[in-house]
Amino acid sequence: MTALTLQALDTPAAIVDIDRMQRNIAVMQARMDAHGVRFRPHIKTSKCLEVIRAQLRAGAQGVTVSTLKEAELCFEAGIEDILYAVGIAPAKLARAIALKRRGCALKLVVDNVAAADAIVTACRSENERLEVWIEVDTDGHRSGLAPDGETLLEVGRALHDAGIPVGGVMAHAGSSYEVNTEAALRALAEQERQGCVLAARRLREAGIECPGVSVGSTPTALAAERLDGVTEVRAGVYVFFDLVMHNVGVCTLGDLALSVLTTVIGHQPEKGWVIVDAGWMALSRDRGTAKQPCDFLYGLPCDLDGTPIEGHLLISANQEHGILAAAGNSVRGEEDALAARFPLGAKLRVFPNHACATGAQFSEYHALDAQGGLTPWHRFRGW
């Protein structure tokens, strides 16, 4: 039986460079160990047990998930300490309770009184106690309560007075994706830390136990200079990195561990285009670099060894067609020259803008080892 290689693999396919992934895991874990905090990786990027197990072997404690399906599959794989870091919808509480009854140390998240009341009602009805964390907003990015606001205490009291344990407070500095200097990242990491620590202190002063203080995004986790008062950090995309993270400044192109393998299927020499079989169904429609200083359009093409093809980008993507051209699409090529550089049937790799979105297009990864061998890794799907 012939060993599976990049040249033999059908396309498009999601490729994980194992050495780069392991290096990314080691760097993040070493940083958290140096700060003396627990690290709870967010698995929404990989959604893959082989990746999660590598993170746990390196020293991670527990996982963060974005769907109950992820929580259920992680628990079935023997992972019990799980934070479901999306505000719980009341209709999903029955699934959450069922998971807890099987032995899962599931932690839910709320950021409003109505959600807290729904949990209280469900727990009373089922004679259960679910651990709940309160999400705080430290940067105006998305969900969460103001650390210095009264609603934070109202949510805490609604849970505490009903006998529902408040496991902690958590924040996600998602606006860190919008900056690109060390100073700005450090400042945002400190803002995130201060806001979360303040929220926990106010709850404790109100007589509400709040043992956990959880912060995290890949940029702030890597930029934080101090984590006083923090008990754990969460981060996800660091395991693969991507072009958005490269533009933020927290990784190099040599750290990018996820790529999409694609095949040249045609040429449009009068336009300077090379047509490949990876469109937005493979790369995703995510244009996360569009507002950043360097716009990579739909992805950065590379040779099979992961070396970027200088001066070229995936300039456009249809459902199953990608268009590769010189950056700016300002160079027209002779047909022979274009076909010589990118011959029909040639295989390339493309680094994506957003690893989470691109990974979501595939049901499996192909893990690439240092010898060029490939191993299929299943990927979670669904909610």
Q: DSSP string spanning 115-170?
A: HHHHHHHHHHHHT---EEEEEB-SSSSSS-B-TTSHHHHHHHHHHHTTT--EEEEE
Beta bridge partners of 136: 145
Q: Which of 239, 264, 285 is the C-terminal boundary of a domain?
A: 239
**CATH number, residue 280:** 2.40.37.20
Residues 280 and 217 in one domain: no
Beta-bridge partner residues of 145: 136
- In the chain, the number of structural domains is 2
Identify any residues that bridge with 17 across adjacent strands, giving them in sequence order: 368
Final residue belonging to a domain, choices 212, 239, 266 = 239
At what angle are helices 68-76 and 49-58 packed, to 10 degrees?
70
Q: Are 381 and 364 in contact (CB under 8 A)?
A: no
Q: What's the N-to-C CA distance of the chain in angstroms? A: 37
- 259 and 15 Cβ atoms separated by less than 8 Å: yes
> Residue 54: inside a domain, yes or no?
yes
Assess whether 235 and 266 both reside in one domain. no
Q: pLDDT 10s digit of each residue in the chain, 383 long?
A: 457 899 999 999 999 999 999 999 999 999 999 999 999 999 999 999 999 999 999 999 999 999 999 999 999 999 999 999 999 999 999 999 999 999 999 999 999 999 999 999 999 999 999 999 999 999 998 999 999 999 999 999 999 999 999 999 999 999 999 999 999 999 999 999 999 999 999 999 999 999 999 999 999 999 999 999 999 999 999 999 999 999 999 999 999 999 999 999 999 999 999 999 999 999 999 999 999 999 999 999 999 999 999 999 999 999 999 999 997 654 455 557 888 999 999 999 999 999 999 999 999 999 999 999 999 999 999 99
Domain that holds residue 182: 37-239
User: 35: which DSSP letter?
Assistant: H
Contacts of 144 (CB under 8 A, 6+ apart): 111, 135, 136, 137, 138, 171, 172
Amino acid at 374: L
Dihedral Cα 219, 221, 227, 233, nearest 10 deg: 140
**Are residues 110 and 229 part of one domain?**
yes
CA 211 centroid distance within chain: 26
Half-sphere exposure of 228 (CA within 13 A, CB side): 7
State whether 263 and 330 are in the same domain.
yes
Domain boundary among 204, 239, 274: 239
